[in-house]
């Protein structure tokens, strides 16, 4: 009889404790999950913000790139810093024998002298 | 080992059963409640630490920026590859993807007058930061009663920095998109511009206003090539300044597809600065909207018509010894040869009399129909809305056929003339100029309309090449590239009369002539002769050299291999025997004496006899 009562009494108490523990654990777990979801959402928003920012920057950079590569500007730069002109029809050759043996070590950086191909 | 055994070790003394006092129960409950309260406080404490210390530590950006971006994030859609930037207006790019127009974020400054304590100081500081503002105007705005007033839209980052330094709580920024044109005034008439609210007003910005504004991410791809556009603009400007013209137009077009690779109209404008647009009619597109009597370039059409419909042969000869007098009109030659010319010679020396006779051979009805087939009698059908309606004689009488044969009495837009000429040169298939790159359309043969036979097209190629090798277009010749073309010089009509001093000088060139790919057109409005041109301001002196330089640069830009020099003139070799090299007094070859001689009087008499 005594045994039974004791058994019942402690069984009752432990089930409450177990439920309380379980609910505390569940609460902690839930808190964790909700925190990690919030963190993930925050991170996602951060990343998307970054992507958005990068995309905006890319647009600006692209516009700047094409602005700086305007043919008029490149022409001006090449005139200032390079001694090269546009190739002329007379400078083309379809005869392999006309080509030099190999690239000479020092290619002088100056305007190519017009080669008239002996045509005129 | 049971659970119970673990939880209640036997050495702890316990009061059990009914002996357990109610005091113990109460104590237990108090302890339990205390524990719960403690836990609750702990949770709060941990959360406070989390929010204030842990998360607060990493908030390194300004709260306003973040809020602004969050608003944009909410509007942004995710297409699977991450967020899409919702740009209010799509880009316009050239055929290689180089930006012609793009939308970029800029800050616009507004004020909340309610929050501004000392408008005078703030206005003074603003004018100092942005010198283009007017003090009185700014002060007036700051003293208004509302809560929102624009100060300046689309300011630069530098200006924004200066305004932030002022630090007035009543000044704030709103991000807006603004249209930028990285290529500046290049192809300004084709690309066009938008107003401050992003509505397209001119060019493709206007034609495709709805499409560009529909938030589609795909850019509008044009057929323009910025490199060629630069070459064309540069040479056109040089021709205009060398010959002190008031304006000009130019185009580079693919003769087979009608793709416009470069198009220019001078004077042009800066699309960023709409005030420059209203100046001097700079927004007027002389290439597609302006209609002009273009003169001798029309001989391409009359000669092609004579070959195609009137059965003219190369050895037909035309009496150009004296001007044709019809009623009060007198048709005479600019470079009078005073002799009987063969058909190639008429084209080569650009004889108005000879061309008028060809027009007479063709007949009014056929000529009018042919012009309609070439698209010269109705407004151009292209993507630009700025297209001019041709001025066509109405009613079309016989005399109009004669004058139209050498490009007078009929005014069309230059782009229209170039398309019509390309339709003949490309082998006889009608082309429409297009500004939008469309890979599918390029191979669509279903729409093809044949205007002349391949035989006539080949003849015309030979004749056009002859103009450059031996005729009025000699200045356009680039060795190795077989340029062909036709000069055009027309007098402008000023106050209802042809003005001998005010010319429209043009040249339409094609290359390589054995298999034409590109049409190049240059026109200068009111050129004046120079010492270098011996006082001439004709198409052969003004526009042909510009076409020459364009072809030279184009060949380098597009890496076009030159033709070997030996085969150079095979195109015109067969025509040489029809040309009297020594003019009036030289020996006349046997072939030259062979063909039928057409003269106006004979033709009139024939017509009389027929009646």
Report domain extents, chain A: 7-80
- The mean predicted confidence, pLDDT, of chain B is 82
The phi-psi region of residue B222 (left if phi > 0; otherwise alpha if psi is between -120 and 50; otherwise beta) is beta
Task: Check which CATH number belongs to the domain holding B200 and give it.
Answer: 3.90.1310.10
For residue B296, indicate whether it is catalytic.
yes
In a domain, B564, yes or no: yes
Q: Which residues of A touch B72 (CB under 8 A)?
A: 52
The model's confidence at residue B586, banded by pLDDT at 50, 70 and 90, is very low
Is A32 an interface residue toward B (CB < 8 Å)? no
Same-domain pairing of B175 and B284: no
**Burial classification of residue B293, based on how many CB atoms lie within 10 Å of its CB (0-12 exposed, 13-18 middle, 19 or more buried):** buried
pLDDT for res B478: 86
**CB proximity under 8 Å: A 92-111 to B:** 92, 94
Coil, strand, or helix at residue B296?
helix
Q: What is the mean pLDDT of residues B191-200?
A: 84
* Interface TM-score (ipTM) > 0.90: no
Same-domain pairing of B263 and B217: no
Same-domain pairing of B475 and B353: yes
In a domain, B81, yes or no: no
Contact between chains at B553 and A86 (C-beta distance less than 8 A): yes
pLDDT for res B417: 93
Same-domain pairing of B261 and B185: no
More confident residue, B600 or B226: B226
Q: Which of B177, B199, B221 is the last residue of a domain?
A: B221
Same-domain pairing of B212 and B293: no
Same-domain pairing of B470 and B356: yes
Q: What is the mean pLDDT of residues A102-118?
A: 53
CB pairs under 8 A between A and B: 97
Q: Which of B40-49, B147-156, B189-198 has the highest mean pLDDT?
A: B40-49
Contact between chains at B479 and A89 (C-beta distance less than 8 A): yes
In a domain, B151, yes or no: yes
In a domain, B555, yes or no: yes
Same-domain pairing of B343 and B209: no
Task: Check which CATH number belongs to the domain holding B409 and give it.
Answer: 3.40.710.10
Q: By C-alpha distance, which of B19, B526, B596, B499 is closest to B267?
A: B526
pLDDT for res B215: 65
Which of A7-11, B142-146, B392-396, B548-552 shows the lowest per-residue confidence on average (mean pLDDT)?
A7-11
In a domain, B73, yes or no: no
Q: What is the mean pLDDT of residues B472-477?
A: 86
Q: Which domain holds residue B160?
A: 92-113+124-221
pLDDT for res B422: 92
Phi, psi (rounded to 5 degrees) for A61: -65, -40
pLDDT tens-place string over residues B480-534: 888 899 998 888 888 777 888 888 899 999 988 888 999 999 999 988 888 777 8
Using CB atoms, pick whichever of B72, B104, B186 lies closest to residue A60.
Answer: B104
> Which residue bears the tokens 């005010």?
B502
Phi, psi (rounded to 5 degrees) for B59: -80, 90
Q: What is the mean pLDDT of residues B46-59?
A: 73
Q: Which of B187, B221, B255 is the last residue of a domain?
A: B221
In a domain, B78, yes or no: no
Contact between chains at A52 and B72 (C-beta distance less than 8 A): yes
pLDDT tens-place string over residues A53-101: 888 888 889 899 999 999 999 989 988 998 887 777 777 777 667 666 6
In a domain, B478, yes or no: yes
Same-domain pairing of B161 and B248: no
Q: What share of chain B in percent tops pLDDT 90?
A: 17
Same-domain pairing of B437 and B510: yes
In a domain, B52, yes or no: no
Distance CA B295, CA B298 (A): 6
How many CB atoms are located within 10 Å of the residue B70 CB?
A: 13
pLDDT tens-place string over residues B313-348: 888 888 888 888 887 778 877 766 777 888 888 888
Which of B36-45, B76-85, B202-211, B256-265 shows the lowest per-residue confidence on average (mean pLDDT)?
B76-85
pTM of the model: 0.78
Q: CB-based contacts of B195: which residues, under 8 Å, 6+ apart?
A: B201, B274
Interface probe, candidates B29, B86, B183, B235, chain A, greatest A C-beta count within 10 A:
B183
Q: How many structural domains are present in chain B?
A: 2
Q: Which residues of B touch A92 (CB under 8 A)?
A: 480, 561-562
Q: What is the mean pLDDT of residues B260-264?
A: 92
Same-domain pairing of B197 and B278: no
Same-domain pairing of B254 and B106: no
Looking at CA atoms only, how far is residue B378 from chain A in angstroms?
36
Distance CA B509, CA B402 (A): 24
Q: What is the mean pLDDT of residues B344-367?
A: 87
pLDDT for res B567: 56
Contact between chains at A52 and B69 (C-beta distance less than 8 A): yes
Strands B247-254 and B171-180: unpaired
Is A37 an interface residue toward B (CB < 8 Å)? no
Same-domain pairing of B442 and B382: yes
Q: Which residues of B touch A6 (CB under 8 A)?
A: 16-17
Choose the catalytic residue: B103, B296, B423, B506. Answer: B296
pLDDT tens-place string over residues B238-252: 999 989 888 899 999
**Which residues are B487's β-sheet partners?**
B507
């Amino acid at each position: 009889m005594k045994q039974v009562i004791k058994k019942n009494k402690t069984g009752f108490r432990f089930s409450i404790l177990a439920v309380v523990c379980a609910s505390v654990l569940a609460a902690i777990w839930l808190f964790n999950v909700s925190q990690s979801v919030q963190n993930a959402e925050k991170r996602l928003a951060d990343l998307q913000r970054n992507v958005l920012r990068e995309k905006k920057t890319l647009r600006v950079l692209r516009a700047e790139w094409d602005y700086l590569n305007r043919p008029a500007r490149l022409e001006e730069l090449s005139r200032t810093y390079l001694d090269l002109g546009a190739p002329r029809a007379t400078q083309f050759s379809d005869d392999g024998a006309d080509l030099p043996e190999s690239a000479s070590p020092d290619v002088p950086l100056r305007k190519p002298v017009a080669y008239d191909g002996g045509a005129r | 080992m049971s659970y119970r055994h673990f939880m209640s070790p036997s050495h702890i003394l316990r009061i059990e059963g009914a002996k357990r006092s109610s005091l113990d129960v109460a104590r237990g409950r108090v302890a339990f409640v205390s524990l719960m309260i403690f836990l609750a406080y702990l949770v709060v404490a941990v959360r406070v630490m989390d929010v204030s210390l842990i998360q607060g530590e990493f908030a390194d950006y300004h709260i306003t920026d973040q809020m602004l971006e969050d608003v944009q994030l909410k509007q942004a859609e995710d297409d699977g590859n991450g967020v899409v930037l919702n740009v209010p207006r799509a880009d316009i790019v050239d055929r290689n993807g180089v930006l012609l127009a793009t939308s970029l974020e800029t800050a616009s400054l507004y004020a909340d007058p309610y929050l501004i304590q000392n408008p005078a100081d703030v206005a003074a500081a603003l004018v100092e930061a942005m010198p283009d503002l007017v003090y009185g105007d700014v002060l007036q705005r700051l003293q208004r009663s509302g809560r929102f007033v624009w100060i300046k839209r689309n300011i630069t980052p530098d200006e924004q920095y200066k305004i932030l330094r002022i630090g007035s709580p009543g000044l704030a920024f709103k991000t807006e998109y603004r249209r930028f044109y990285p290529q500046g005034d290049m192809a300004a008439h084709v690309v066009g511009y938008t107003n401050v609210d992003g509505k397209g007003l001119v060019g493709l910005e206007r034609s495709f206003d709805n499409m560009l504004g529909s938030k589609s991410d795909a850019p509008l791809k044009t057929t323009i090539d910025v490199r060629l556009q630069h070459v064309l603009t540069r040479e056109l400007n040089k021709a205009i300044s060398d010959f002190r013209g008031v304006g000009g137009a130019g185009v580079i077009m693919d003769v087979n597809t009608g793709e416009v690779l470069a198009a220019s109209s001078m004077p042009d404008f800066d699309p960023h600065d709409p005030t420059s647009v209203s100046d001097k009619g700079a927004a007027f597109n002389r290439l597609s909207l302006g209609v002009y009597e273009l003169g001798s370039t029309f001989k391409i059409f009359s000669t092609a018509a004579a070959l195609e419909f009137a059965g003219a042969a190369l050895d037909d000869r035309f009496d150009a010894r004296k001007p044709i007098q019809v009623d009060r009109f007198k048709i005479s030659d600019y470079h009078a040869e005073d002799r009987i010319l063969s058909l190639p010679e008429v084209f080569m020396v650009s004889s108005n009399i000879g061309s008028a006779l060809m027009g007479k051979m063709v007949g009014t009805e056929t000529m009018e129909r042919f012009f309609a087939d070439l698209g010269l009698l109705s407004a151009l059908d292209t993507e630009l809305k700025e297209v001019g309606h041709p001025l066509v004689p109405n009613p079309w009488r016989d005399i109009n056929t004669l004058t139209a044969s050498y490009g007078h009495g009929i005014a069309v837009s230059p782009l229209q003339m170039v398309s019509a000429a390309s339709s003949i040169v490309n082998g006889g298939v009608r082309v429409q100029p297009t500004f939008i790159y469309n890979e599918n359309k390029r191979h669509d043969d279903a729409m093809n309309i044949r205007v002349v036979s391949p035989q006539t097209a080949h003849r015309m190629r030979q004749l056009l090449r002859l103009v450059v090798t031996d005729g009025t277009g000699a200045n356009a010749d680039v060795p190795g590239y077989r340029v062909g073309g036709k000069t055009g010089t027309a007098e402008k009509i000023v106050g209802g009369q042809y003005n001998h001093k005010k010319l429209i000088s043009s040249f339409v060139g094609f290359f390589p002539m054995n298999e034409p790919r590109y049409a190049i057109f240059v026109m200068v409005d009111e050129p004046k002769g120079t010492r270098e041109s011996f006082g001439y301001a004709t198409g052969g002196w003004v526009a042909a050299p510009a076409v020459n330089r364009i072809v030279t640069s184009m060949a380098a830009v597009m890496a076009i291999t030159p033709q070997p020099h030996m085969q150079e003139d095979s195109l015109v070799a067969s025509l040489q025997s029809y040309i009297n090299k020594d003019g009036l007094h030289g020996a006349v070859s046997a072939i030259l004496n062979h063909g039928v001689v057409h003269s106006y009087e004979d033709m009139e008499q024939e017509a009389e006899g027929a009646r």
